[in-house]
Amino acid sequence: MMDWFIAYVESVMRLAAPLMFAAMGGLISERAGLANIALEGKLLVSAFFAAAVAAWTGSAELGLFAGILSGALSGWIFGASTVWLKADHIVMGTAFNLLVVGVIPTLGKAWFGSSGSTPALGSEARIQAGIGFFVAGVFLVFVLSEALRRTRWGLRVHSAGESPDALLVQGVNPRRVRIGAACVAGALAGAGGVVLSLVQGSGYVRDMAGGRGYLALAAIIFGAWKPFPTLIACLIFAAADSAQMLLQGKSIFDVSVPASLIQTLPFLATLAILALRRARVSAPRAINQAL
């Protein structure tokens, strides 16, 4: 029983890591006023590039670096195009996610001859971190929470999300603050993507984010755009996710539950949690407003 429990907790920690990175990235960009439905796409992009570079070079470190860099770059592309084109963030995010769904298989076919995935990685090109990424994620939450409260960057990010005009008349360009936040958000989501393809998996598989970007977004909403409550929401989702994994192929009270039904568990848990509280009250005031 104890063994089972420890295995479960460890699995929750493993599954929580990508969710936490994505959620913290999303939290930064949303606090800066940039609604970030594109998290899912960023997870996929960075997972793909991390796996691609790791496959070419055989080096896990270079893969990690490529994943984070591609995340930051796609964060910049999303942030800059949304801000400069004065586009609706949700529509632009949808476009970004669609773009990723189309571009990755196209690149995959051109580079590896397979539109679905990258070649399987050997153990030297993967990262053996255990729960290292989870620990790093918790540390990140602490740092982020302090940074938002006590640094110039935090003050400006908060203002860009609440009242961009206040920044403008104080001589700070809120567009730059938002785009900067989008880059940081992309880099963090990128770290999450690396966990997916180099830590948990061995290479990129089609749609490997499996909705985690959206779960991260739900965690931010449930966490009222604050780091620690968001972390807790991520843990709850990860708990549902790893329960789902444990239950697959097992039977409860002698009734075997089919995999496809079990897979909906994290999403149902998310819906149940969202139903518990009103969302709009604590959202940043200027979210999804053009500058």
Residue numbers at the binding site for another protein (CB under 8 A) = 37, 81-82, 84-88, 90-92, 94-99, 101-103, 105-107, 109-110, 115, 150-153, 155-156, 158-159, 162-163, 165-173, 211, 214, 217-218, 221, 258, 260-264, 267-268, 270-271, 274-275, 277-281, 285, 290
Q: Is beta strand 251-252 parallel, antiparallel or unpaired with respect to 255-256? A: antiparallel
SS3 252: strand
Find the helix or strand (DSSP H, E) in which 255 lies.
Answer: strand 255-256
Q: How far is the CB of 245 from another protein (least distance, A)?
A: 14
> Could you give the C-alpha distances from 183 to 31, 106, 153, 186, in angstroms and in order?
13, 25, 13, 5
CB of 50 to another protein, least distance (A): 20
CB of 92 vs another protein, minimal distance in Å: 5
Nearest distance from residue 101's CB to another protein, in Å?
Answer: 5
User: CA 60 to CA 130: how far, in whole Å?
Assistant: 15
Rounded CA-CA distance 27/232 in Å is 14
> Which of 164, 135, 145 minimizes the C-alpha distance to 225?
145
Q: How far is the CB of 168 from another protein (least distance, A)?
A: 6
CB nearer to another protein: give 50 or 262. Answer: 262
Cα separation, 291 vs 282, whole angstroms: 21
Round to whole Å and give the CA distance between 59 and 81: 32
Which residue, chain included where needed, has tokens 């540390």? Answer: 139
Residue partners of 95: CB distance under 8 A and separation at least 6: none
Q: Which is nearer to another protein, 65 or 267 (CB)?
A: 267
Indicate the residue among 141 and 219 with the shorter CB distance to another protein.
219
Q: Which CB sits closer to another protein, 102 or 122?
A: 102
Comparison of 131 and 205: residue with beta carbon closer to another protein: 205
CB closer to another protein, 84 vs 139: 84
CB of 66 to another protein, least distance (A): 19
